[in-house]
Amino acid sequence: MFWGLFTLLALSSIGFGCRPRCQSIDKSTGLPKREDTFNITQILQGNTSPHLKRHDDGITIGKRWFSVDDLEYLKEKGKLDKVANAPWPEVCGHSWLRYCFKDEHSANSLLDTLANAIALWAPAEFYTDMVIQPDYACNGDYRCVCGTQPNGQSTANDALVISDGRPDPDDEGTWLDGTETTSGYNYLSDAPGRHSMQFTNINNLQQPLSEVERNRVISTMAHELGHAMGLEHEHQRPDRDDYLIVDYTAINTYEEAKHEWENANLKELEGLTKPQMLQRIVTSYRLTCLLFQNALEFMNADDAPFYDEYLAPEEVGWFDFSSIMMYSSTTFADPNKGRKGQFPLKRQSLNRGQLNRERSFVWQGGERDRARISSTDISRLADLYPGDATKQQRMEDWHQETNLKSLVVGIDHLVPNKLLAK
């Protein structure tokens, strides 16, 4: 089980996680190996949905609920023009996440990663109305650079602007810190660049990327696209403590942060024991921003003010351990504590009993070596972006299958959305 684990821990310490959000509400993130990635030539030839020809027998589907609100709900409440995080609008009968690269350098360094991340989301096209495409002005060219195109058209102000976090790859002094992606569509403004993805996950990685690193980076890009479409972290759901064990002391910056707050002389921490100090900090957005920023990405959503606008529908589904929107156990992990079995996230036993070390791990996309979007990732995307009658019927058939079976193995391109402890 643990071959390569220390390598993953080393990689996790260089930024395979989302940037803490103390100065904005931008939502953003770690990563496994995928054998059937697709190069850009295959993508441009139209092979963006190779799995859609496969049968979908035996997939369970659950209600995924941690995301921006549905368009219909926002319209009904008269809130659509009052929110900065909502589903992307329908244009010409479809929902499109339209992107362009900030500059030629970003296109050169991130095109392959983006193309393969889009391929990871390809199964969702069979059930939802959401499609990830280059901006209209680029006429289907996946290497779409923002600005005026050779055809005289300009990319739209609301396109998702994707940038490499290394403005100058040869000058580390210019490198930005932390991957950061806006969540959903901003209806409050028409300013250019209001939808953005700053991708720093190739910082410090030797080029060319190894197979493991490349697949990890592709998975992170798919995670970021999930944020851009409006999905949030599964491990920050308000009910996550029923399913996960969150160990803040295993986060890579814990020791440094602990030294800071133990010497901070803050009134809010007076008279508290050290464990009480930690509990007070990680349940306070202000204190976490001040003293322990990496912990922001593990805070319960009930304690984070930027989640106030994310409402859960009445029917809440089971926790999705296999979601692409999960962090892996190794994300932001302290390598030294990892060697002792301590990790920021571990999975609880479904029957509250003891899990052995191997089964307690969680992995983004369900597997360490083969991350994929889960059936509930598709389900929530279908809630946000319902397709035509045919696609909605497919989803209905999927929900009926769920009512019949609580757990099935799944199919090759998806992972089961509920795991049983042995």
- Please check whether residue 159 is in contact with residue 91, taking contact to mean a CB–CB distance below 8 angstroms: no
Q: What is the pLDDT of residue 54?
A: 22
Which tokens hold the place of 161?
């602007």
C-alpha triplet 136, 232, 200: angle, nearest 5°: 65
Q: Where are the domains of the chain?
A: 60-233+375-385
Q: What is the pLDDT of residue 408?
A: 31
Closest CA to 268 of 255, 256, 254, 285: 285
Q: How far apart are CA 68 and CA 83, in angstroms?
A: 10
Which residues of the chain are modeled with pLDDT < 50?
1-15, 19-20, 23-65, 311-316, 403-422
Q: How far apart are CA 54 and CA 286, in angstroms?
A: 48
Question: What would the 3-class secondary structure string for 172-204 be?
Answer: HHHCCCCEEECCCECCCCCCCCCEEEEECCCCC
Q: What is the pLDDT of residue 352?
A: 55
Torsion of CA 292, 183, 241, 221, to 10 degrees: -80
Closest CA to 194 of 179, 184, 203, 204: 184
The DSSP H or E segment spanning 95 is strand 94-101
C-alpha triplet 380, 323, 384: angle, nearest 5°: 15
Q: How far is CA 347 from CA 21, 274, 337, in A?
A: 25, 25, 17
Helix, strand, or coil (residue 7) = helix
Q: What is the pLDDT of residue 355?
A: 56
Dihedral-angle region of residue 342 (phi above 0 means left; psi in -120 to 50 means alpha; beta otherwise): beta
In this prediction the pTM is 0.78
Q: How far apart are CA 316 and CA 5, in angstroms?
A: 34
Q: What is the pLDDT of residue 192?
A: 93
Q: What is the pLDDT of residue 38?
A: 34
Would you state the CATH architecture of domain 60-233+375-385?
3-Layer(aba) Sandwich (3.40)
Q: What is the pLDDT of residue 255?
A: 95
- Please check whether residue 410 is in contact with residue 367, taking contact to mean a CB–CB distance below 8 angstroms: no
Cα dihedral sign for 185, 186, 191, 196?
negative
Which tokens hold the place of 315?
């029917």
Q: What is the pLDDT of residue 174?
A: 72
Q: How far apart are CA 49 and CA 97, in angstroms?
A: 16
C-alpha triplet 272, 276, 280: angle, nearest 5°: 100
Q: What is the pLDDT of residue 304?
A: 79
Do β-strands 94-101 and 130-134 pair in parallel, antiparallel, or remain unpaired?
parallel
